[in-house]
Structure 1
Amino acid sequence: MKKKPKKQLKFGLVGQNISYSFSEKYFTEKFEMGHYDNCDYANYDIKNIQKLSQIIQETKGLVGLNITIPFKETIIPYLDKLSKTAKKIGAVNCVTVSKKKKLKGHNTDYYGFKKTITPLLKEHHKKALILGTGGASKAVAYALRKLKIEYDFVSRTPDEFQLCYAELNTDIFDEYHIIINTTPVGTHPNIIACPDVNYSLFTKKHIAYDLVYNPEESTFLRKAKENGAKTKNGYEMLVFQAEKAWKIWND
């Protein structure tokens, strides 16, 4: 009896200006190494989230998507359902596509961040500053809540509940010993750029965590490290969130 060929399964990344993306390379290599010959991963570089419907309808065999900047929040109205965690976070970076083309949003960013910051934490790491207020910052905030770490957001255009960069002085840095960059500032190709903070305020007590992974050491991390801070880039977080997404797609 002739063996039935495996159904071709499609996965992909939806975002803007994503040619540098981690996901396509990571999953393509994963499929090759694991001999997932029926799996394929592609980038869907779009200017407007409204294009999502076209991708869903036109891509045969599509079962899973990763979502990146700038669509982690704007995608939500286009989904049929949200996981409990994604609902609580208010941002989505992983989508499952059913046979009937129904979309369910998940968040695996928080899992990746929580998994990778936990080994760095010491007793004095009780408060964090989150630089940026986009979709990634929401996942980081959720993870910090799970870890029982207090946090505040820092924004270039702060509301009454947020800090502005000019407020980040010695007193603030004495109180907040975890500084997390969730903005794309400093990522390839603009690798000289960095968040507008006074880097001389970093000390050996501080953790500087950058969600940027390209370059491996961003200007933010380099400057923080020069002043004694423990540093961590976003690569390992991406690996953990990708593997969590793979698990969700295969459940």
Structure 2
Amino acid sequence: MMLSGKARIAGVMGWPVSHSRSPRLHGYWLDRYGIDGAYIPMAVRPERVVEAVRSLPLLGFAGCNLTVPHKELVFPVLDQVDPLARRIGAVNTVVVTGEGALHGYNTDAFGFIESLREAAPGWRGSRGPATIIGAGGAVRAIVAALQDAGVAEIRLANRTRARAEALAADLGGVTVVDWADRGAALAGAALLVNGTTQGMTGEPPLDLDLSHLPARAVVADIVYVPLVTPLLAAAAARGNAIVDGLGMLLHQARPGFEHWFGQAPEVTPELRQVVLGQAASPVR
């Protein structure tokens, strides 16, 4: 549809930003719901991101998403930060209010839990411990999400132990496991999450022996290229339920879209195919 002078505008800021699939994702929803709006990629250098976010109300934007490395840099310019985003230490969604104020949110935690519940509906936080591999920004959101979902024991293994210990100190309630003991840390776990880029196309597979993992455990990966990583393939072969990384990307976009465009969007099989580039995007 053609944009009018009243079109709602949002976008994604990153450096680089050309890899982002968010324009394809939000563009699909805009066309599906017939919304007078647009979502655009914005390549913004890290040293200019505070200035760029501050300019959103002046330019008439409804808000924006933030990708690496901007998620931790924008706190000083925001008028209000959601408590969950403050706890995680990162903002990925900025909303411009009707008064022109800037509110920051983190929707990655929501995206992970919604993806987990969609792909593994039998999973509950009370089912048992979670073992997480990695200690990057996505893992911070995943830990917070699992804590809020009622997971009483979270085991964290990272190749660099100091980084895992820093995360545990910030969020609390996390047991840091030596990298050499990561396989043993799967014993009795109800959930395993790969929060690293290992297994992504062009990266080596995650080096993890699954022999200690219970057959009833759910295995999730934040990587979605390929959709079925070597970890997920190995888990499925031994009978574990698996959760691919695409669901987290799709579900984390829902709150922002609703804020900016006034429509609660749905995650559908067709959307998954469009975002993966396996189906044509609607023509705008």
SS in 2 for 1:19: coil
Aligned to 1:61: 60
Q: In 2 relative to 1, CA 17–223 (structure 1 residues): closer, same or farther, beyond 3 Å?
A: farther
Q: In 2 relative to 1, CA 152–16 (structure 1 residues): closer, same or farther, beyond 3 Å?
A: farther
Which residue of 198, 204, 209 maps to 1:185?
198
Task: Return the letter of the residue paired with 2:43.
Answer: D
Q: In 2 relative to 1, CA 46–202 (structure 1 residues): closer, same or farther, beyond 3 Å?
A: farther
When the two chains are superposed, the root-mean-square deviation of aligned CA atoms in Å is 2.7
CA distance in 2, matches of 1:92, 1:100: 20
Q: TM-score, normalised by structure 1?
A: 0.82
Aligned to 1:205: 216
Which residue of 232, 243, 256 maps to 1:245?
256
Give 1:99 deviation, angstroms: 6.1
Q: In 2 relative to 1, CA 123–80 (structure 1 residues): closer, same or farther, beyond 3 Å?
A: closer
CA distance in 2, matches of 1:153, 1:75: 27
Give 1:98 deviation, angstroms: 4.1
Aligned to 2:103: 104
Give 1:126 deviation, angstroms: 0.9
In the alignment, structure 2 segments of 5+ residues that lack a partner are: 169-175, 263-284
| Alignment of structure 1 residues 1-251 onto 2, 5 Å | 6-37=5-36, 39-48=37-46, 50-54=48-52, 56-57=54-55, 60-98=59-97, 102-118=101-117, 119-121=121-123, 125-149=127-151, 150-159=153-162, 160=165, 162-170=176-184, 172-187=185-200, 189-190=201-202, 192-250=203-261
Deviations 1:40-66 (A, max 9, x none): 111223452533423653882222111
SS in 2 for 1:175: coil
Alignment check: 8 A CA contact 2:35 2:261 kept: no
SS in 2 for 1:153: strand
Give 1:232 deviation, angstroms: 0.5
SS in 2 for 1:133: coil
Aligned to 2:280: none
CA distance in 1, matches of 2:157, 2:177: 5
Give 1:148 deviation, angstroms: 1.3
Task: Return the letter of the residue paired with 2:157.
Answer: V
CA distance in 2, matches of 1:186, 1:133: 16
Q: In 2 relative to 1, CA 113–217 (structure 1 residues): closer, same or farther, beyond 3 Å?
A: same
Q: In 2 relative to 1, CA 235–226 (structure 1 residues): closer, same or farther, beyond 3 Å?
A: same
Give 1:210 deviation, angstroms: 1.0
Task: Return the letter of the residue paired with 1:54.
Answer: A
Aligned to 2:272: none
Q: TM-score, normalised by structure 2?
A: 0.74
CA distance in 1, matches of 2:257, 2:87: 21
SS in 2 for 1:197: coil
SS in 1 for 2:73: coil
Name which structure has the greater RCO, CA cutoff 8 Å, separation 6+.
Answer: 2
